[in-house]
Amino acid sequence: MSALALLLLWVQPPPPAEIDRALAEERALLAELVAAETSNPPGNEERAVKPVAAHLRKAGIPFQVIYSSPHRANLVARLKGDRSKKPLLLLAHIDVVPADASKWSAPPFRLTEKEGFLYGRGVSDDKVMAAAEIALLISLHREKAKLKRDLIVALTADEEAGGTGIQYLLANKRELIDAEIALNEGGGVALRESGDVARDVGFGAAEKIYQSFTLTTHGPGGHSSIPLHDNAIYRLVAALGKLAGFQFPARLIPVTRSYLAGRAKLEKGEFAAALAAAAESPPDGRIPTATAQALARDPFLNALIRTTCVATMLQAGIKDNALPFEAQATVNCRIMPDESAAETQKTLARLIGDSGLEIKPIDNFDTGPPVPVTGEVPDAIRHAAGELFPGVPVFAIMGTGASDSRFLRKVGILAYGLGVAPKTESDGRRAHGNDERIPIAWLKVGYQFFDRVVRTLVQ
């Protein structure tokens, strides 16, 4: 039996009374965090830091508040272990996307219990994670748990608009959050749409690279009554037509192979067979053409197996009777994590084949490499899932969006995505929309799952 297997057998969950106490603390803190309106922009995350600081002071846990810019507060707390192993970092962001109260059935900045759900902006993304991490930190402190790792909790600003909070900490206060491994948003327990059965457990191990480009064409201009062959709009439309008919090669990385193999167990018939066939593609990652075509019929799966680039904005012309001097499109690319923005830009240039068309990258959202889909953290997740959700598939997932994990992975911290609030796929889609909510009945088991994973990694 491996050392990790022995450890898994040795680690015991806390008594039921302690779980209930921690869960009550999580819910109380979640109510305070939702009420602390931190819509980004402008953020004002110091509003959310204040109630967290009060809970930590009451528990006697030291912490630091670091401002990445005025009113943009980040909080870092730590429980010390014997340091026979390097630290574990628990990360959560405390900013949220804006909410239009007129389109909600409950006040977005007040935690509301209704019909078996908790409603409020941030209950899913990401204040419930922050509340659970602080509750777990306080629980371990209360128990005087003996830890092999320091356990760090970092609550950060600005994840929803670029991640300046975590970037500031890494650049200026690295010693406060430096760790071997980390748990952040980007995974967790998915429920079947009925809401009463766990469907799967996914853990985030990679994210696509976010990169937008501007495509710009120029023309001589002039009066529209005398059309010219060299029209900036037509040249741009021709370029976009080539992009519309193009697909980047379909291929697997270890994370997507794990996902497809797990997803195949959840499906039936020809679709399940296609997923399984894709997961069994050759080691070089190339997916057979027929199999790739079958997967591509599902937009989500298509986005998992290849880099994608899509036009999202257009701007051209100055007047209806004037020929355009310039036409410009914004193309948003989501790039496979082991590729690069520079390679993608070269592919776009080759595809379009117009030397007069300018392709320029916009901003830089940064990226980090995938983390291993086997090892200590995945093993701990699989073990806890096996105890609480026996028979439910567990697999790695790749985010098509972006989280603060990319900055941790870039500097060598193995950041995995997990969650503390099980929910259905349809409820998950509410996270940036109206009536964001999580099911109350699953909060306890969600906390227990997270608690077991963390205890396995630190004890």
Residues 291, 179 within the same domain: no
Q: Specify the pLDDT at position 401.
A: 82
Residue 48 is assigned to a structural domain of this protein: yes
Residues 152, 280 within the same domain: no
Q: Specify the pLDDT at position 85.
A: 98
Site of tokens 């701007």: 315
Residue 40 is assigned to a structural domain of this protein: yes
- Partners of 316 in beta bridges: 327
Residues 261, 179 within the same domain: no
DSSP for 198-253, written as a single string: EEEEEEEEEEPEEEEEEEEEE---EETTS--S--HHHHHHHHHHHHHT--PPPB--
Residues 167, 27 within the same domain: yes
Residue 376 is assigned to a structural domain of this protein: no
Residue 23 is assigned to a structural domain of this protein: yes
Q: Among 34-38, 123-127, 365-369, where is mean pLDDT lowest?
A: 365-369
Residues 56, 178 within the same domain: yes
Last residue of a domain, one of 268, 287, 306: 306
Digit-coded pLDDT (tens) for 186-204: 999 999 999 999 999 999 9
Digit-coded pLDDT (tens) for 128-181: 999 999 999 999 999 999 999 999 999 999 999 999 999 999 999 999 999 999
Q: Specify the pLDDT at position 6.
A: 45
Residues 103, 26 within the same domain: yes
pLDDT band at 52 (very low <50, low <70, confident <90, very high): very high
Q: Specify the pLDDT at position 155.
A: 98
Residue 201 is assigned to a structural domain of this protein: no
Give pTM, 2 decimals. 0.93
Residues 412, 280 within the same domain: no
Digit-coded pLDDT (tens) for 371-420: 999 999 999 999 999 999 999 999 999 998 889 999 999 999 999 999 99
Q: Specify the pLDDT at position 2.
A: 53
Terminal Cα-to-Cα distance of the chain (whole angstroms): 18
Residues 279, 139 within the same domain: no
Q: 137: domain CATH number?
A: 3.40.630.10
Distance of CA 79 to the CA centre of its chain: 26
Last residue of a domain, one of 289, 306, 323: 306
Identify whether 70 is preceded by a cis peptide bond (ω within 30 of 0).
Answer: no
Task: Provide the 8-state DSSP code for 113.
Answer: E
Residue 140 is assigned to a structural domain of this protein: yes
Last residue of a domain, one of 259, 283, 306: 306
Residue 440 is assigned to a structural domain of this protein: yes
Mean pLDDT score across all residues of the chain = 96
Residue 9 has pLDDT above 80, yes or no: no
Digit-coded pLDDT (tens) for 323-380: 999 999 999 999 999 999 999 999 999 999 999 999 999 988 889 999 999 999 999 9
Residue 87: which residues within 8 A CB-CB, separation 6 or more? 78, 81, 149, 150, 151, 152, 178, 179, 180
Domain that holds residue 103: 3-186+403-458
Q: Specify the pLDDT at position 324.
A: 97
Residues 169, 253 within the same domain: no
Residues 59, 133 within the same domain: yes
Residue 269 is assigned to a structural domain of this protein: yes
Residues 24, 130 within the same domain: yes
Residues 136, 23 within the same domain: yes
Digit-coded pLDDT (tens) for 257-280: 999 999 999 999 999 999 999 999
pLDDT band at 1 (very low <50, low <70, confident <90, very high): very low
Number of domains in the chain: 2
